[in-house]
């Protein structure tokens, strides 16, 4: 690895992996991994129990469940249904068994495709609050029905207001028991783009997917529990360059023939090469993010997968 080079990620799983690469044990952090071979879904549960663990991980104290579904970017309705069911199971664990009113918040900018996941998910959620208030729960003919409302607050450039200000106003007026916030994230690894779902009970920072952090949407700022669902849709461009250059450096150090072809570069020590890479990357790529070319279709597909998971978790027919 390139020493202190800072590759950003919103996934607790990837923060955990960076410590494993350095063979460092994190105190105050419990990690459980399970593999569903039939569904082809790998789940990692990271529980940060102490403030020391939170400081080391760079994440708040809480539970982070990461589902890795390698075929989620493929158009396979059966597989996406299985992902939705798995997501619903994790959401039920965090929500508990009791019926409670839920506000689903779709964070992000509908006009920027990689950042449009939240608005699309909120648009597909089954809204029931108004019907329950008008006709009662018996009208829906379900064993369990959570009053569900949804909000798409937009971004500051569209509204002139902090997202937190808008959500806080709605929460104070409608008084939901819990908020489910959905947003796009940034990943450390390109293989996790549009193939991973993170669910956490710690809330979220709007704008994570495009590197533009705003005020946090958390229990502390809203006064009610916040469950966050995120899918990585972009990767820091510096990550791609960093990984490529790392591979080049490692190859040159292993192969004497290639090292000789490198000219002056081949005479540098590994630490000198790493320092050179850091200097080349920092000024030009730190504000650039990359997303797959089929992101339009993928966002639409994944938004249905996530919204269906929310619908299944909040309503048992």
Ordered by where they begin, the domains of the chain are: 12-230+293-316 (3.40.50.1450)
Tokens at 161, concatenated: 């207001």
- When pLDDT is averaged across residues 266-291 and rounded to a whole number, the result is 65
- Where is pLDDT greater, at 271 or 178? 178
DSSP code of residue 204: B
pTM of the model as a whole? 0.82
263: left (phi over 0), alpha (psi -120 to 50) or beta: left
Residues whose CB falls within 8 Å of the CB of residue 267, separated by 6 or more in sequence, listed in order: none
* pLDDT at site 75: 82
Query: 68 forms bridges with which residues in the sheet?
Result: 42, 196
pLDDT tens, residue by residue, 189-227 = 888 899 999 999 999 866 444 455 557 899 999 999 999
Residue 144 has pLDDT above 70, yes or no: no
What pLDDT, in 10s, does the model give residues 15-27?
Answer: 777 665 555 567 8
Residues 177, 201 contacting (CB under 8 angstroms) = no
Residue 270 pLDDT > 80, yes or no?
Answer: no
């Amino acid at each position: 690895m390139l020493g202190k080079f800072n590759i950003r990620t919103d996934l607790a799983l990837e923060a955990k992996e960076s410590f494993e690469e350095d063979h460092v044990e994190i105190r105050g952090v419990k990690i459980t991994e399970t593999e569903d071979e039939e569904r082809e879904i790998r789940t990692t549960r990271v529980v940060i129990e102490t403030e020391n663990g939170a400081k080391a991980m760079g994440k708040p104290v809480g539970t982070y469940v990461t589902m890795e579904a390698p075929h989620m970017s493929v158009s396979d309705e059966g597989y996406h249904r299985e992902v939705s069911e798995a997501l619903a199971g994790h959401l039920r664990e965090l929500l508990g068994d009791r019926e409670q009113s839920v506000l689903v918040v779709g964070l992000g900018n509908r006009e920027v495709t990689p950042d449009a996941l939240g608005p699309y998910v909120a648009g597909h959620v089954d809204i029931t609050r108004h019907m329950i208030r008008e006709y009662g729960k018996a009208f829906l003919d379900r064993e369990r029905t959570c009053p569900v409302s949804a909000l798409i607050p937009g971004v500051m450039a569209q509204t002139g207001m902090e997202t937190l200000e808008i959500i806080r106003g709605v929460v104070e007026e409608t008084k939901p028991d819990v908020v489910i916030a959905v947003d796009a994230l940034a990943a450390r690894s390109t293989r996790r783009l549009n193939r991973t779902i993170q669910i956490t009970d710690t809330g979220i920072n709007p704008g994570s997917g495009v590197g533009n952090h705003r005020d946090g949407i958390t229990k502390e700022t809203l006064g009610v529990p916040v469950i966050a669902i995120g899918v990585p849709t972009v990767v820091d461009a510096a990550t791609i360059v960093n990984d490529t250059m790392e591979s080049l450096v490692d190859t040159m150090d292993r192969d004497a023939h290639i090292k000789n072809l490198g000219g002056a570069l081949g005479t540098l020590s590994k630490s000198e090469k790493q320092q050179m890479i850091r200097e080349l990357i920092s000024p030009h790529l730190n504000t650039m993010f990359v997303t797959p070319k089929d992101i339009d279709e993928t966002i639409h597909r994944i938004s249905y997968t996530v919204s269906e998971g929310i619908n299944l978790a909040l309503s048992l027919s």
